[in-house]
Amino acid sequence: MRYGSAFLCALIAIVTSGLSPQVVGQAGTASHKQGQQADYGTATASEGSTVLSDLDQAINEISRRVLPAVVQIEVSGYGPREHGGASQVIEKQRAIGSGVIVDSDGYIMTNHHVVEGAQRIRVVLSPATLELVPFKSSFLVRQRTYEARLLGVERQGDLALIKIEEKGLPYIPLKEDFAVRLGQIVLAVGSPEGLTHSVTRGIVSAVGRQPDPDRAMVYIQTDAPINPGNSGGALVDREGNLVGINTFIFTEGGGSEGLGFAIPEPAVRFVYHELKEHGHVRKTVIGANPQTITPTLAAALKLQQDWGVIISDVTPGGPADKAGLKPKDIVVAMDTRTIDSLPKFAASLYLHDRSQPVQMDVLRGADSVKLYIPALEAHAGIDSLADLINPQTGLISSLGVFVVDLNKQVVEMLPDLRSQSGVIVAGRVGYEPPVDADLNVGDVIRSFNGRNLNSVAGLRHELEASKPGDPVVLEVERQGVMQFVAFEME
């Protein structure tokens, strides 16, 4: 493709053009040197101008095709206060992020953290100005704003799928033939600080960065400037193909310091299809916890290798336990795929056909063992009580708490609960409530003045029927212990 080759040629010319005049100037007579330098300088200026023009055109062409498919996302809702500790304080929040249209029918991929706690999601589409010409460029911004539906999230991968009701939209396709190389040029597109259609350029600094060795996620690292608001935006290559979804940065001062990270396109593509078809990412579980082998871990446990994946825990009575998998087993292969890292272990489980057992080859001491482990689909659960909060129905303002019904889903999430009915405190407000009821997140409110509670509506009814000065006693299960919480209504 013309613009792709121009991009590479421009870089080669820029790197090498500063050296050639010095080499030429060291040979021949004084008069001959001057002639050579003059001719060479003229040729270099002309060629350099052409190369830089091609570079500009390449970036312009990529931007022209990509910008319409990268949107601004405005989110309002309730979420845990940042740095609030244990995510117990829930407060009204507004956020701005970015998203990538991946299907012309209005399907948009973004980060989970962009839409976390959202009660309302709006997508803003606006034209991009690609050229500034006095009295000719138009700065008329005719934005189109759409209400969006959240179709599903993948918290671990920090991805989410939203949809707007529109067709024929520009989009960036998710392609099967993905490839990314160290050092290749990339563009980051998004809405940093709410500034729509911002484009920055950089290179791929690392193709498989794994910041946490005990988490399977790998990222594409780039030095393209990425700032708050770029989250959920596109990282594209010189051909306009999606390289990944920008997700986070390492920074001391809060701004870009050249350490940006994007979720690779294959992960985005996989999660997109799962969320579109099922509303959640179906996960295969076997009842075992894998961990990255480090040299220190290998030396302490006297392992035969200081790399790869070791099983640190096996759930008693689970599929892996029944199949014979044991802690300290080193995983060599799964379904005939060689396993040399935690990301490969996780990918093998994702791709496994759940109708068949997982074939696992492990190294146990000096022995090689082959196991066949039944594969189960993990329940589509929730990660925190805050995810269950509906601020419109769950806020009890007089007590300063958010509550949800203690239903089957919550009971399964908290298997150690003794209570099977009531309402559970899922969050606290960030202000001082009228009544100091001394309630904590996780408390189950079982009764109100001796009358059993079965729903949030029941608790609200009891509170509304009470007058200022009335004594109230709540029976509460707190960390497995039943106790009374007493206070007076205000």
Both tokens assigned to 457: 């509506």
**Does residue 384 have an active-site annotation?**
no
For Cα atoms 11, 13, 15, give the angle at the middle one, nearest 5 degrees. Answer: 70
Maximal CA-CA distance, the chain: 108
Give the tokens for residue 456: 């949030």
* Cβ neighbours for 276, distance < 8 A, ≥ 6 positions apart: 107, 151, 152, 161
- Per the structure block, which two tokens stand in for 152? 């599903």
Nearest partner of 209 among 194, 199, 222, 220, judged by Cα: 220
Q: Is-catalytic flag, 231?
A: yes
Among 113, 197, 237, 341, the one annotated catalytic: 113
Count of beta carbons in the 10 Å neighbourhood of residue 6: 22
- Using DSSP, state whether 444 is helix, strand or coil: strand
d(CA 441, CA 453): 18
Burial profile 346-361: b = 16 or more Cβ within 10 angstroms, e = fewer: bbbbbebeeeebbebb
- The 3-state secondary structure of 390-410, one letter per residue: CHHHHEECCCCEEEEECCHHH
* Interatomic CA distance for residues 76 and 74, integer angstroms: 7
- Please tell me the distance from the alpha carbon of residue 261 to that of residue 263, in angstroms, as a whole number: 7
Q: Which residues contact 54 (CB under 8 A, 6 or more apart)?
A: 3, 6, 9, 10
CB 13 within 8 A of CB 51: yes
Give residue 223's identity as a one-letter amino acid code: D
31 labelled catalytic: no
Closest CA to 387 of 113, 194, 195: 113
Q: Which residues of 423-459 are buried (b: 16+ CB within 10 A; e: fewer)?
A: bbbbbbbeeebebebebebbbbbbbbeeeebebbebb
Catalytic residue among 231, 256, 348, 419: 231
DSSP secondary structure, 199-217, as one string: EEEEEEEEEEE-SSTTS--
Both structure tokens of 174: 């998710």
> What is residue 235's three-state secondary structure?
strand
Q: Give the active site residue among 63, 98, 103, 158.
A: 158
| Separation CA 164–CA 192 (nearest Å) | 22
Cα distance between residue 157 and residue 149, in whole Å: 20
What positions carry a catalytic annotation? 113, 158, 231
